[in-house]
Amino acid sequence: MALSTTIAIIDDDKIFHVLTRRILEKSGKADTILEFYDGQEALTYIAENYADPQSLPDLIFLDIQMPFVDGWQFLDAYTNMEIPKAITIYIVSSSISSLDHEKSHHYEKVKGFIVKPFSRDKMLEVLEDFAS
């Protein structure tokens, strides 16, 4: 993992934020945790911090079912942005639809699809995979 790792949580579920933040903090794998409650907040942050790649996330946990700007809309807009650093994205969703899983494969930046709820061990596995 990079010397300083920034992880973003993009999800409208406050409980998911609390649990994920707790796992990330205890794991020691994240130096900075950014939290957004819809895709537009995250897109605005990326656009505003574009000139400072260090402030952009290295890893994003992205929910696809959110109000206002959902995960798919976020990915469509994100794909059209020229981001000055590589950002790894994992979709985290309660959706068990095979259509959602299949759709996630159409986005080059999406590294994986994790069904919620998932265990602390699964989160640590993803963090280890990201680090390698």
3-class SS letters over 84-127: CCCCEEEEEECCCCHHHHHHHCCCCCEEEEEECCCCHHHHHHHH
Examine residue 14 and state whether it is found in any structural domain, yes or no: yes
Q: Which two tokens stand for residue 75?
A: 């990915």
Task: Please check whether residue 16 is in contact with residue 9, taking contact to mean a CB–CB distance below 8 angstroms.
Answer: yes
Examine residue 1 and state whether it is found in any structural domain, yes or no: no
pLDDT at 15: 93
- CATH number of the domain encompassing residue 49: 3.40.50.2300
**pTM of the entire structure?**
0.91
Between 46 and 130, where is the model more confident? 46
Of residues 4, 32, 35, 31, the one with CA closest to residue 17 = 35
pLDDT at 2: 44
Examine residue 70 and state whether it is found in any structural domain, yes or no: yes
What would the mean pLDDT of 48-74 be, rounded to a whole number? Answer: 93
Task: Please check whether residue 91 is in contact with residue 113, taking contact to mean a CB–CB distance below 8 angstroms.
Answer: yes
Q: State the virtual CA torsion across 39, 40, 43, 48 in degrees, nearest 10.
A: -150
Instruction: Check pLDDT > 70 for residue 112.
Output: yes
Question: What is the domain extent for residue 12?
Answer: 6-131
* Structural domains in the chain (count): 1
Examine residue 114 and state whether it is found in any structural domain, yes or no: yes
